[in-house]
Amino acid sequence: MQHWSKDSFFYHIYTLGFCGALYKNDFSSPSQNRLEKIYSWIDHLKYLGVNALYLGPLFESTFHGYDTADFYWVDRRLGTNENLKDLIAVLHNNGIRVILDGVFNHVGRNFWAFRDLLANREGSLYCSWFKNLDFSSNNQFNDHFSYEGWNGHYDLVKLNLQNSDTKEHILNAVKMWIEYFDIDGLRIDAADCIDLDFLKELSETAKLEKADFWMVGEIIHGDYRKWANSQTLDSVTNYECYKGLYSSHNDKNYFEIAYSLKRQFGEKGIYKDIPLYTFADNHDVNRIASTLKNPVHIYPLHCLLFTMPGVPSVYYGSEWGIKGLKQNGSDISLRPSLDLNNSKSNEHYDLQKTINKLSRIRNFSRALKYGSYKELLVSQEQFAFFREYENEKILVILNSSKENLPIELSLKYEEGTRYIDLLNDQEEYFVNNNKLRIASLPSCWACILRACN
């Protein structure tokens, strides 16, 4: 039996921005249930075909959620623990699983144990909770001690995950999240900065609570097998293909993404048994509609996203092609509050219809969810590959050119096979003389063909 993650299409919400939370937490205002906004989006998620929701950081923090102040309480700017529990129950009743951001590499300066350190210095019971703490030096905050910050950001204080008390505090929080909120998985923030032994212990703890719990690590570079394996995490973010998805279109160079897919998932693919998390954009990178040089390439890109191996994800609002760029190092413009009623004003409002169709094609195709991958044709602006699982065969053909073009593919051992185009009005094609010919593949579009005999 396949794990539920392989059947999933994720929708990613950066919760604080989406819900219109105040930029800074004052830690004194009463909780405000901004999470309730998500209820009104459930029908939209179901229309898209979403069956799994990734909610960005939810727990008490100072600013953006990745500067945790308390792992055990929902951020008052979003609501209460009960509000989150009720929301997840309704999402489950609508067939939507939920994973949360697990931010365990670092905390904010308002984290309760760090505040105790500020007050009691060497006398604090929590000195061992933080990495490379040094009372013989100073820092930019004039604390008269120094510590390790994440990636040079000293408002993000790196935790010592080799300390047993620190580990116990976090692991007990995760058990609480599973038992009380009934979450289905975690996205591990900055997983490439976290001790592997801690990740293994985290995985073991979570799966004792819920056997099919799924954990995906945020990994930018490196050999994904280091983190995604039977002892550590189930998946990682496929940043290699994230880059290939847009640059293959921008550079008129399908050879780039073809190389990655063959290396990762081909016959000798190094990740072919790992359900990598695939995406076109997220809360940390420019919106795909702002990244593409040719706006219409957003259509073949999504055709590829939903047919290549992996677990596809769409970042909230990108189903309409909204734009967003980092500005002066800030991610705020990537993380807006959105209104369903105003979505029609976006340039690619109809993209959601394409995603609706693609997600349903994938949902009913075992080959697209679990199947092997084989490259058939690659050129600068045309790309074709084959997916197969058990008795189902799927042929995907992409054309990113500005022109409608004929396509001819060599298909040995397929003589007489009839293919039906699942994406384009059930058009039929036959293999004759070991060739499949398409008279005109539309510009910036695709065919998704299923073998019928």
Pinpoint the residues of the chain covered by CATH 3.20.20.80. 4-368
In the chain, CATH 2.60.40.1180 covers 371-451
Greatest CA separation found in the chain?
Answer: 82
Q: Which residues pair with 410 in a beta bridge?
A: 435
Please check whether the domain covering 4-368 is classified as CATH 3.20.20.80.
Answer: yes
- Tell me if 368 sits within 8 A of 307, measured CB to CB: yes
Helices (H), 78-233: 81-93, 112-120, 164-176, 196-209
Q: For residues 101 and 12, what is the distance between their CA atoms, to the nearest angstrom? A: 11
Q: Residues with Cβ < 8 Å from 407, sequence gap 6 or more? A: 377, 382, 384, 397, 399, 437, 438, 441
pLDDT of 346 > 90? The answer is: no
What stretch of H or E contains 436?
strand 435-441
CA distance 283 to 309: 22
Q: In the beta sheet, which residues pair with residue 30?
A: none
Q: What is the pLDDT of residues 188-240, one digit of tens each?
A: 999 999 999 999 999 999 999 999 999 999 999 999 999 999 999 999 999 99
If you ran DSSP here, which 8-state letter would residue 340 be given? G
Render pLDDT for 252-271 as a digit per residue (tens, 0 to 9).
999 999 999 999 999 999 99
pLDDT at 317 over 80: yes
DSSP state of 159: B
The answer to whether the predicted template modeling score (pTM) of the entire model surpasses 0.85 is yes
Helix (H) / strand (E) element for 155: namely strand 153-158
The pLDDT of residue 166 is 98
398-453 pLDDT per residue, tens: 999 999 999 999 998 788 899 999 999 999 999 999 999 999 999 999 999 999 97
pLDDT tier, 343 (very low <50, low <70, confident <90, very high otherwise): confident
Res 1: pLDDT: 82
Topology at the third CATH level for domain 371-451: Immunoglobulin-like (2.60.40)
